Amino acid sequence: MPGSVGTVRTEYATFPAPLTLESGAVLAPVTIAYETYGRLNREKSNAILVCHALTGDAHAAGFHEGETRPGWWDGVVGPGKAFDTDRYYVICSNVIGGCKGSTGPASANPATGRPYALTFPVITIRDMVRAQKRLIEHLGINCLAAVAGGSMGGMQALQWAVAYPEAVRKVIAIATTARSTAQQIAFNEVGRQAITTDPAWAGGDYPADSPPVQGLRLARMIGHITYLSDGAMREKFGRNLQDRESVGYGFATEFQVESYLHHQGDTFTRRFDPNSYLYITRALDYFDLAVDDSLAAGFSGVKASFLVVSVSSDWLYPPYQSEEIVNALAANGVDVQYCEIRSNYGHDAFLLENGQLNYLISAFLDHLLVRDVMETGAPTIVERASINDAARIMIENAVNHLPVLAERGDLVGIVTSWDIAKAVACGYGSLDEIMSRSVVTASPDESVTEAARRMEERSISALPVVDADRRVIGLISSDAISTLIGRCA
Amino acid sequence: MPGSVGTVRTEYATFPAPLTLESGAVLAPVTIAYETYGRLNREKSNAILVCHALTGDAHAAGFHEGETRPGWWDGVVGPGKAFDTDRYYVICSNVIGGCKGSTGPASANPATGRPYALTFPVITIRDMVRAQKRLIEHLGINCLAAVAGGSMGGMQALQWAVAYPEAVRKVIAIATTARSTAQQIAFNEVGRQAITTDPAWAGGDYPADSPPVQGLRLARMIGHITYLSDGAMREKFGRNLQDRESVGYGFATEFQVESYLHHQGDTFTRRFDPNSYLYITRALDYFDLAVDDSLAAGFSGVKASFLVVSVSSDWLYPPYQSEEIVNALAANGVDVQYCEIRSNYGHDAFLLENGQLNYLISAFLDHLLVRDVMETGAPTIVERASINDAARIMIENAVNHLPVLAERGDLVGIVTSWDIAKAVACGYGSLDEIMSRSVVTASPDESVTEAARRMEERSISALPVVDADRRVIGLISSDAISTLIGRCA
């Protein structure tokens, strides 16, 4: 039963040594806000770094004291979840350039004592990762078991593998790209223009208590449209009106989708710094792992194994961009798994499709066990039952496979609907004549990946799960696995 | 040879009688700016109304005195083009609510003598069409041969068929929808918010010489992203830098796509009224031809025949929205043709894909003749030639069909590469033994639609085009037609 990491709090590490940035500029000191969940093992080999997206923060899981809303990736981080805090030591840190505790444009410039504002140096995804590397070393970790993230978090994960090939064993990159496209830059630029043309922006030197809220609100509204799919918006809002029966022929808020955007824009201005929005979107624009226009060349030094996940309805980071990553990795002989998850949510699916993500990530981290996904309470039949009994149980329970048990409860065979048909066709009268005695089974403690592979090899769609005494304790079916993972390539 | 309508000018018609709007408000007087091309015939049966999109105007074709840039749909309006001004009397008018000569929020309110600004009543697509109806009647026309348009122009075309079923014989609706979706409303709303949160907007009462340019510029930049496909932006801009060799780690314009957006935004503010942008986008939001949530019910009274065209890469008005129109029309037994044109341009394809549009529209208006698309100079062979000669001519000219002519030049048969193969296989020695004597031909003056139907019925891929004396003057092939039209459903 997956649970919560409970109450957590953000910690801070400050590094006085100057950090040389990709631009050549130098930043010092560098403070990094971070949270950790679970325990670092003695070998320091079970650390997983989780990286946040554009407007995220270090609070990935659990609850801050007195709050009811959990961290942004609570659906996959916690005991029994994909990033299983019973096994792993999960770390999440706020990016530099951000406004959630790590050094950014709203931080005090030590040279002046006033906020950096636009004197803050432009940072890149590589710089964010370089700063994270300091934190990881500070925590005593030489090599991460995995780095994972969606959207900009996925870029950081890819960047880790390229920048520190010896320091990361597995990479999980979700709904992301290896190089920002013209369309992505275009949306970022419109957001920045909204902020910088707001008179309240004042060249970046706005007082902390009167930021350019209108500009930031607009930028967030644009962003939100790109995070949702057309289909999700149709489903969620359609043409529904907000608190009214009929259209009012005016410019007040009338459609639910307008109300939603206003709300998203308004709440965002209360939690995000406009200058940070400029710096982080610029880092996105600059992101390009290609070398001489070749992504394959860009990935030539990586050593990690990869899980790349795209979302069918994501039009901001469409699946073809994940496929470009996969192809570039494959060209280098890198171990890479790819899955396009089926979701109507659009880009935001990386925050919402917990079922599919938990399965894919757990399987990739190789700790998802048959016992975690098996169906229990599947019907069985005793050896001496009639064929009619077997048929009736199948129909009543809508199953195709019926494990056959001996009197003392251990598995002796399996009978399928196809066997029933055979009995009818050939006039067989007893279960004994039609059931298969050589049954392929699964163990509750083996990995799902292993069981799935066995099913595929033998062309079997379900396996009885048996304990050490060959008692049937459940059933694992390819249908159940498929439902969890969607259509995977 | 398609040509230009030459120098044209915008005319104005003012109607003093009050126009009652969908909201119940009344507008008077109503001025409509319009242009016409070609001549109205005596029966007044050859008039086609062309409707413009969000930011268009009455200037669809030809050139204004002293200008070098033609009207917005010059690619398909003119002598020999789809909207053939040698045959049709083409009318284009500026929508009410606009700012290009028709009455809109920048017009003087007769009650005050000052611009209407926000006291202008909210208008709908139905209101725009109602105003156009006045213009059409003013021009002495009872029934339009066709109404056509792309994007918002397509909405007007659909609205015409619904509002005035007796007054329109054909409808051409391109890259459009029958009801605005949540995503479309969302993009419109962000554009409006950009304008109304610009302090210069001043509640709509800005002086004519200092409009809220920053807000309108932002709205246009957002719009432009939605008009292009991701693929078109990749192709056009990629990650190319503007006037620099390497990135500068700053917020100045660095990428070409940024420069493009700034330019589009800036030029737009010099030609469009911000309040008009509010009114017209609101009309888009309200557009919904469904009755009781049923589009089929909404189209129940239409009498026109329809051509519906979508664009494969259009994500603002995706093909499924055109398919919804087609299904709703088909449910009413309406004659409807549908084509998804293959284009990488995105939504803007309705202004750019002149080749495909000219063919589709011409064929639908049933005036595209075989002589317009036949290939001339196709090789032939004389009756007494050898099979070797025939094979050689086919190979040299890369053709599969060779019309066989008598000594005096008239068509006596046809020989194909398959016939040659047959001759080799069976040891035939003369053309006479292998050619088909019953040749299906086309006439230069029949419609392409007719010839295409005959080819399809007989499973023939090319027809010789013969004159009254059965002399071969060209060849019409399904390949040539396919190339023109792309993949059509």
Domains and CATH numbers, chain A: 7-368 (3.40.50.1820), 372-485 (3.10.580.10)
**Residue A484 pLDDT class (50, 70, 90 cuts):** low
Question: Could you tell me if residue A80 is left (phi over 0), alpha (psi between -120 and 50 degrees) or otherwise beta?
Answer: left
Nearest CA-CA partner of B419 in B407, B406, B409, B404: B404
- Select which of A52, A59, A224, A347 is catalytic: A347
User: Chain A: nearest CA to B348, how far in angstroms?
Assistant: 15
Q: Is B220 annotated as a binding residue?
A: yes
Interhelix angle B256-269/A182-196, rounded to 10 degrees, is 50
- On whether any CB of chain B is under 8 Å from the CB of A200, the answer is no
The beta-carbon neighbor of A197 closest among B218, B225, B258 is: B218
In the 8-state DSSP scheme, what is residue B169? S
Tokens at B343, concatenated: 């284009």
Instruction: Pick from B230, B268, B344 the residue to mutate for testing the A interface (most A CBs within 10 Å).
Output: B230
Cα separation, B73 vs B85, in Å, equals 13
User: Distance from B249 to chain A by nearest Cα, in Å?
Assistant: 6
Annotation marks residue A347 as catalytic: yes
* Nearest to A265, CA basis, from A198, A202, A204: A198
Q: Considering only CA atoms, which of B437, B434, B412, B435 is closest in space to residue B423? A: B434
Write out chain B residues lying below 8 Å of A183, CB-based: 225, 228, 230, 233-234, 257
pLDDT given for residue A83 in this prediction: 97
CA distances from A26 to A23, A279, A371, B56 (A): 9, 16, 51, 50
Classify the phi-psi angles of A98: left when phi > 0, otherwise alpha if psi is within -120 to 50, otherwise beta.
beta
Catalytic residue among A57, A314, A322, A419: A314
Chain B residues touching residue A199 (CB < 8 angstroms):
199
**pLDDT at residue A28 above 60?**
yes
**Closest approach of A461 to chain B, Cα-based (Å):** 36
Higher-pLDDT residue of A455 and B323 is B323
Report the residue of B123, B126, B190, B344 to disrupt the A interface, i.e. the one with the largest count of A CBs within 10 Å.
Answer: B190
Across the interface, which of B239, B250, B254 has its CB nearest the CB of A182? B239
Q: Which residues of A touch B234 (CB under 8 A)?
A: 181-183
Question: Both tokens of residue A261?
Answer: 């955007």
pLDDT of A310 over the 70 cut: yes
- Which of A22, A251, A282 faces B192 most closely, judged by CB atoms? A251
Task: Please give the biggest Cα pair distance in chain A.
Answer: 94
Q: Which of A27, A177, A187, A218 to mutate to test the interface with B (most CBs of B within 10 A)?
A: A218
ipTM beyond cut 0.85:
no
B261 touches chain A (CB under 8 A): yes
Give A78-123 as a DSSP string: ETTSSEETTT-EEEEEPPTT-SSSSS-TTSBPTTTSSB-GGGSPP-
Number of residues that this document lists for chain A? 489
Q: What percent of chain A has pLDDT over 90?
A: 76
In chain B, residues with a C-beta closer than 8 Å to the C-beta of A192 are: 251
Q: What pLDDT shows up at residue A37?
A: 98
Mutation target for B interface from A201, A241, A257: give the one with most B CBs within 10 A: A257
A-B CB pairs within 8 A amount to 151
**Does A386 have pLDDT greater than 90?**
no
Sequence length of chain B is 489
Listed in order, strand segments (DSSP E) in A321-450 are: 336-341, 381-382, 401-405, 411-416
Separation CA A236–CA B149 (nearest Å): 30
CA-to-CA distance for B172 and B360, rounded, in angstroms?
10
Q: Give pLDDT, residue B73.
A: 98
Q: Are strands B11-15 and B30-37 parallel, antiparallel or unpaired?
A: antiparallel
Cβ B2 vs Cβ B96: under 8 Å: no
Residue A2 burial (10 A CB sphere; 0-12, 13-18, 19+):
middle
Give the E-state strand segments of B112-189 in sequence order.
146-150, 170-174
In the beta sheet, which residues pair with residue B477? B462
In this structure, the number of other CB atoms found within 10 A of the CB of residue A319 comes to 20
Nearest Cα neighbor of B442 from B418, B407, B487, B472 is B472
Residue A54's pLDDT is 97
For chain B, the maximum distance between any two Cα atoms, rounded to a whole number of angstroms, is 94
pLDDT at A482: 64
Residue corresponding to tokens 């967030």: A220
Q: Residue A298 contacts by C-beta under 8 Å, 6 or more apart in sequence? A: A162, A178, A289, A290, A291, A328
The minimal CB distance from A286 to the residues B196, B247, B258 is found for: B247
Q: Which pair of tokens denotes residue B71? A: 């009207």
Q: Please give the structure tokens belonging to residue B307.
A: 């051509």
The partner residue sitting opposite A186, judged by closest CB among B190, B214, B257, is B257
Each as own residue / partner, the long-range contacts of residues A385-392 (CB below 8 Å, 24 or more positions apart, any chain) are: A385/A431, A386/A430, A386/A431, A387/A420, A387/A423, A387/A428, A387/A429, A387/A430, A387/A431, A387/A434, A390/A415, A390/A420, A390/A431, A391/A417, A391/A420
User: For residues A378-395, b (16+ Cβ closer than 10 Å) or e, as one string?
Assistant: bebbeeebebeebbebbe
Backbone angle region of A486, left / alpha / beta, with phi > 0 → left and psi within -120 to 50 → alpha: left
**Which pLDDT does position A488 carry in this prediction?**
41
Spell out, as residue ranges, where chain B has pLDDT lower than 70: 1, 482-489
- Across the interface, whether the CB atoms of B233 and A197 are under 8 A apart is answered no
**Residue listed under structure tokens 């979840």:** A81
Beta carbons of A306 and A297 less than 8 angstroms apart: no
d(CA A324, CA A313): 17
Instruction: Provide the shortest C-alpha distance from residue A74 to chain B (in Å).
Output: 28
Distance CA A415, CA B437 (A): 67
Interface touch A186/B121, C-beta < 8 Å: no
The chain-wide mean pLDDT, for chain A, equals: 93
Mean pLDDT of the region A356-373 = 86
Say which range, A100-104, A440-444, B68-72, B180-184, has the weakest mean pLDDT: A440-444
Cα(A163)–Cα(A128) distance, integer angstroms: 11
Q: Does A230 touch chain B (CB under 8 A)?
A: yes
Chain A: residue whose CA lies nearest to B204: A251
B348 marked ligand binding residue: yes
Residues 19-48 of chain B with CB under 8 A from chain A are 22-23, 25
Strands B26-27 and A411-416 turn out to be unpaired
Q: Name A472's bridge partners.
A: A466
Whether residue A477 lies in the annotated active site: no
Residues A312, A353: Cα–Cα separation, whole Å: 12
**Interchain contact A185–B (C-beta under 8 A):** yes
pLDDT at residue A343, as a whole number: 95
| Reported confidence tier of residue A69, pLDDT bands at 50, 70, 90 | very high
∠ CA B319-B321-B325, nearest 5°, is: 115
Q: Does B194 touch chain A (CB under 8 A)?
A: yes
**B131 burial level (CB within 10 Å; 0-12, 13-18, 19+):** buried
What confidence score (pLDDT) does residue A487 get? 36
Bridge-based pairing of strands A305-311 and A336-341 is parallel
At position B124, the amino acid (one-letter code) is T
Instruction: Give the model's pLDDT for residue B370.
Output: 85
Concerning whether A229 is annotated as a catalytic residue, the answer is no
Distance CA B455, CA B419 (A): 19
Backbone angles phi, psi at B371, to 5 degrees: -65, -25
Measured between beta carbons, which residues in chain B are less than 8 angstroms from residue A25? 249
Work out the pLDDT band at A397, boundaries 50, 70, 90.
Answer: confident
Residue B83, strand partner residues: B77
